[in-house]
Amino acid sequence: MVEHLVATRKRLGTTQVELAACLGRPQSYVSKIERLERRIDVAEWRKIALALGQNPAAMFEEVCVLLEHIDLLAGPKRD
């Protein structure tokens, strides 16, 4: 989910500094999230999506589709 947030931020041309300002946080907050040094919960993920001007539900659907593709590429599960 974080990788998708990073990709979305970059696609939109938003810097970490700009995103952090929208969130009322320092740039280091965004940096630590993006480097997976800081975990976020769903509420924080939603706030970030909204700060990027995105629909959180639509973004979550995109993440789910990506995960389905990863599962398909991994092949059948073996028990």
Which CATH number fits the domain that encloses residue 67?
Answer: 1.10.260.40
Amino acid of residue 71: D
The answer to the question of residue 48 being in a domain is: yes
Whole-prediction pTM: 0.82
Q: What is the pLDDT of residue 79?
A: 61
CB 56 within 8 A of CB 46: yes
CB 48 within 8 A of CB 56: no
Q: What is the pLDDT of residue 75?
A: 76
Number of domains in the chain: 1
Range of the domain at 47: 2-74
Q: What is the pLDDT of residue 53?
A: 97
SS3 25: coil
The answer to the question of residue 79 being in a domain is: no
* Residue ranges of the chain with per-residue pLDDT less than 50: none
